[in-house]
Amino acid sequence: MVFKKKDTDNKEFYIVDKRILPKSIQNVIKVNDLILKTKISKYSAIKKVGISRSTYYKYKDFIKPFYEGGEDRIYSLHLSLKDRVGILSDVLDVIAKEKISILTVVQNMAVDGVAKSTILIKLSESMQKKVDKIISKIGKVEGITDIRITGSN
């Protein structure tokens, strides 16, 4: 028996101004926005926008928002940590106490007693002004041997 993998890897993406999209696609975007922003059910959002359920379900998985560099910024924290139980947890506690959103955490195995870790965080515009203070607090965690930050967006 031979199984053929469905060709789903040939995706192409485009950045398109929403105004040129067909009305049905614009309505699916409206439904997704309502669900996200008002926390109402899919059924209620579909009804409120006035499209059919079949139209929504036909396109919903193919529409994702594109976020331009706006108020929020993504930063990568590159840390060198001494091999100590709980050190990454201590760093994450500092970040959590500052009410910073963590996007990803990667920690590599320690070599010669030092582990490398990368943490992607998202900072609001108001938090960006406090980057130095946040880095300083993280740097005070016992066992941090190096901390670097790179920004994106």
The pLDDT value recorded for residue 71 is 67
Considering the domain 71-150 in this protein, what is its CATH number?
A: 3.30.70.260
What are 116's strand-pairing partners?
80
Point out the least confidently predicted range of 9-23, 83-97, 110-124: 9-23
- pLDDT tens for 44-73 read 999 999 999 999 999 988 887 755 445 678
- pLDDT value for 151: 75
84 closest CA partner among 107, 106, 101? 107
Domain ranges of the chain: 16-58, 71-150
Q: What is the pTM assigned to this prediction?
A: 0.54
For residue range 128-152, list pLDDT tens digits in order. 777 888 888 999 999 999 999 887 5
DSSP of 51-101: --HHHHHHHGGG------S-S-EEEEEEEEEES-TTHHHHHHHHHHHTTPE
Residue corresponding to tokens 């309502």: 34
Residue that has been written with the tokens 């970040």 in this structure: 95
The more confidently predicted of residues 39 and 3 is 39
Q: What is the pLDDT of residue 74?
A: 85
User: In the predicted model, is pLDDT for residue 38 greater than 60?
Assistant: yes
Q: What pLDDT does residue 1 have?
A: 43
In 3-state terms, what secondary structure has residue 23? helix
With residue 117 as reference, give the H or E element that holds it.
strand 114-123
User: Please, what's the b/e burial string for 137-147 (b: 16 or more CB within 10 A of its CB; e: otherwise)?
Assistant: ebeebebbeeb
Identify the band that residue 125 occupies on the pLDDT scale cut at 50, 70 and 90: confident
The predicted pLDDT at position 3 comes to 43
Report which of 143, 129, 152 is spatially closest to residue 77, judged by C-alpha positions.
152
Query: What torsion, rounded to 10 degrees, do the Cα atoms 124, 129, 131, 132 define?
Result: -170
Per-residue pLDDT at 78 exceeds 60: yes
CB 46 within 8 A of CB 24: no
